[in-house]
């Protein structure tokens, strides 16, 4: 009996049209623009100056805080400018502009294909390597990997879960790397397993990717590391959500407001595992990732999986892939359920870019909303066990206390409620907004409590 998470979830058509397109390497553009905010947390601080010559893999920005990450140049060339530029949402962010000259890599980076199967044993050195190579979680949230792999003292990892669910429809980049780079992923898993103190590792893959499952099972068997296994999961969205995957694999629920480590789980995406392998075994920083060019209005022969360098403009990739199809009404970065519509095609790829998705008007246009008939479908579909119809009403009336009492902060923005709503009510729009407000209130309260505690401590010390 294949496992899945028990609460909620929906079954959108998976549309994995580009599943058989092998990964192609994109040629270099003339210029790349590397964003300083490619990870969750504080933006990185540039350490290069205009006019500097940089090589691919060289550090160009340092972390701007504890939750932050190194950023490396993805190409060799000259730094042309360090200036604000618009990201995919049209908001300004500092970008380092590099004019490409040749393709020269920084020293000490192993670009060969040879597998390095020996697992290092120095935990601190491996963690430092992961941090220095700027590895972040590539499942979507881009949380710095070294922070997650180094649980706070007192908590112990009991299981490392590799997320190969790729539950978002259309996306196939994880599927392709699991087929083509399966051994590297398994070695990456073994490294992370060592870092976490030797807990077992489970690679969770949804049943709709049989080739990936076969490839990963073969790699696990051939490499024969201890305690790594592949678990085939039933197909259900949002299985790739951290808390859902933990529930599916370990049958444990992370309580409201808790972190996965509280139930002994650490979840990393398969692409992150590949990045960890490249960082630790090959000394190669995270400057490339895989991206799917797909969509319902794109013929199969025009669909691709590309290996891109970070900082490539989306418009460049779109042009290389054969231009934007006429019927495309919306271009999305990420999957159709959780991705963001691209407002600016001149924006550049970042570490976490996973797709360029062309959706037709018929597929994407929102239908007119009608009144809520209280059918409860959204509450059935919510994988976090919330009541979206109620949260929506509360959010419209700005009742933040009630919203917090009903755990709006637990919403993972998966969009199941909106997907399933027969009245086409834009539930997620209002709930997301309310979530932001409530999280702001919770943070402010925590900060105030901390300040009060410190003041009390100072008073007693006197």
Please give the residue ranges that form the binding site for another protein (CB under 8 A).
84, 86, 89-92, 330, 340-341, 343, 364-366, 426, 429-430, 432-433, 436
Q: Which is closer to another protein, CB of 69 or CB of 342? A: 342
Q: Which is closer to another protein, CB of 198 or CB of 440? A: 440
Q: Which is closer to another protein, CB of 190 or CB of 338? A: 338
Shortest Cβ 343–another protein spacing (Å): 5
Q: Which is closer to another protein, CB of 23 or CB of 427? A: 427
Q: Which is closer to another protein, CB of 176 or CB of 435? A: 435
Q: Which is closer to another protein, CB of 30 or CB of 424? A: 424
Q: Which is closer to another protein, CB of 82 or CB of 149? A: 82
Shortest Cβ 441–another protein spacing (Å): 16
Structure tokens at 156: 């112990």
Give the residue carrying structure tokens 């397109």: 21
Q: Which is closer to another protein, CB of 33 or CB of 70? A: 33
Shortest Cβ 294–another protein spacing (Å): 20
Residues 318 and 348: beta-carbon distance below 8 Å: no
Shortest Cβ 359–another protein spacing (Å): 11
Q: Which is closer to another protein, CB of 433 or CB of 449? A: 433
Shortest Cβ 89–another protein spacing (Å): 4
Residues 32 and 81: beta-carbon distance below 8 Å: no
Q: Which is closer to another protein, CB of 376 or CB of 436? A: 436
Q: What is the DSSP string of 74-117?
A: SS-EEEEEEEEEE-TTS-EEEEEEEEE-S--BPTT---S-----
Structure tokens at 387: 């009541």
Q: Kindly state the helix (H) or strand (E) to which residue 250 belongs, with its residue range.
A: helix 242-250
35: three-class secondary structure by DSSP = strand
Q: Chain-centre distance of CA 293, in angstroms?
A: 17
- DSSP annotation of 264: T
456: three-class secondary structure by DSSP = helix
Please give the Cα distance from 45 to 62 (Å, whole number). 5
Shortest Cβ 429–another protein spacing (Å): 4
Please give the Cα distance from 362 to 349 (Å, whole number). 27
Structure tokens at 373: 């008939």
* CA atoms 133, 134, 140, 143: torsion sign: positive
Structure tokens at 208: 């709709």
Q: Which is closer to another protein, CB of 30 or CB of 91? A: 91
Q: Kindly state the helix (H) or strand (E) to which residue 95 belongs, with its residue range.
A: strand 92-100
Please give the Cα distance from 79 to 73 (Å, whole number). 10
Structure tokens at 437: 């407000």
Residues 382 and 417: beta-carbon distance below 8 Å: yes
Shortest Cβ 54–another protein spacing (Å): 25
Nearest to 282 by CA among 461, 88, 109: 109
Shortest Cβ 82–another protein spacing (Å): 14
Shortest Cβ 33–another protein spacing (Å): 15
Please give the Cα distance from 36 to 91 (Å, whole number). 13
Q: Chain-centre distance of CA 455, in angstroms?
A: 39
Q: What is the DSSP string of 316-338?
A: HHHHHTT---TTEEEEEES-TTT
Q: Which is closer to another protein, CB of 150 or CB of 344? A: 344
The count of C-alpha atoms lying within 13 angstroms of the C-alpha of 423, restricted to the half-sphere facing its C-beta, is 14
Please give the Cα distance from 273 to 258 (Å, whole number). 24
Shortest Cβ 90–another protein spacing (Å): 3
Shortest Cβ 366–another protein spacing (Å): 5
Residues 310 and 350: beta-carbon distance below 8 Å: yes
Q: What size, in residues, is the chain?
A: 462
Shortest Cβ 257–another protein spacing (Å): 22
* CA atoms 77, 276, 136, 288: torsion sign: positive
């Amino acid at each position: 009996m294949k496992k899945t998470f028990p609460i909620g979830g929906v079954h959108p058509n998976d549309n994995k049209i580009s599943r058989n397109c092998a990964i192609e390497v994109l040629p270099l553009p003339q210029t790349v623009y590397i964003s300083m905010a490619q990870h969750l947390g504080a933006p990185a601080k540039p350490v290069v100056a205009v006019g500097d010559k940089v090589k691919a893999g060289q550090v160009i920005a340092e972390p701007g805080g504890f939750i932050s990450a190194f950023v490396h140049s993805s190409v060799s060339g000259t730094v042309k400018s360090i200036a604000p530029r618009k990201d995919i949402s049209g908001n300004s962010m500092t970008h380092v502009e590099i004019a490409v000259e040749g393709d020269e890599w920084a020293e000490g980076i192993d670009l060969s294909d040879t597998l390095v199967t020996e697992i290092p044993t120095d935990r601190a050195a491996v963690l430092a390597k992961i941090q220095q190579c700027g590895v972040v979680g590539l499942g979507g949230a881009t949380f710095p990997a070294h922070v997650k792999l180094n649980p706070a003292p007192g908590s112990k990892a009991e299981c490392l879960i590799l997320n190969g669910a790729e539950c978002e429809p259309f996306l196939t980049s994880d599927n392709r790397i699991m087929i083509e780079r399966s051994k590297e992923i398994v070695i990456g898993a073994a490294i992370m397993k060592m870092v976490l103190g030797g807990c077992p590792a489970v690679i969770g893959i949804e049943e709709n990717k049989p080739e990936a499952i076969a490839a990963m099972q073969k790699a696990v068997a051939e490499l024969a590391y201890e305690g790594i296994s592949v678990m085939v999961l039933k197909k259900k969205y949002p299985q790739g959500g951290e808390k859902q995957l933990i529930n599916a694999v370990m049958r444990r629920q992370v309580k409201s407001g808790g972190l996965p480590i509280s139930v002994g789980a650490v979840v990393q995406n398969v692409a992150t595992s590949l990045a960890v392998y490249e960082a630790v075994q090959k000394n190669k920083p995270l400057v490339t990732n895989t991206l799917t060019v797909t969509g319902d209005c794109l013929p199969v022969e025009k669909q691709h999986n590309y290996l891109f360098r970070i900082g490539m403009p989306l418009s460049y990739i779109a042009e290389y892939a054969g231009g934007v199809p006429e019927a495309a009404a919306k271009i999305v970065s990420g999957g159709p359920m959780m991705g963001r519509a691209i407002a600016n095609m001149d924006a550049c790829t970042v570490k976490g870019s996973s797709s360029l998705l062309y959706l037709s008007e018929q597929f994407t246009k929102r239908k007119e909303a009608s009144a809520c008939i209280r059918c409860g479908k959204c509450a059935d579909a919510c994988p976090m066990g919330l009541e979206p119809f109620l949260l929506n009403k509360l959010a419209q009336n700005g009742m933040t206390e009630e919203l917090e009492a009903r755990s709006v902060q637990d919403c993972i923005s998966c969009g199941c409620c909106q997907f399933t709503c027969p009245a086409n009510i834009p539930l997620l729009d209002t709930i997301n907004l309310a979530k932001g407000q409530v999280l702001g209130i919770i943070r402010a309260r925590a900060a105030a409590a901390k300040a009060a505690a410190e003041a009390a401590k100072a008073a007693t010390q006197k």
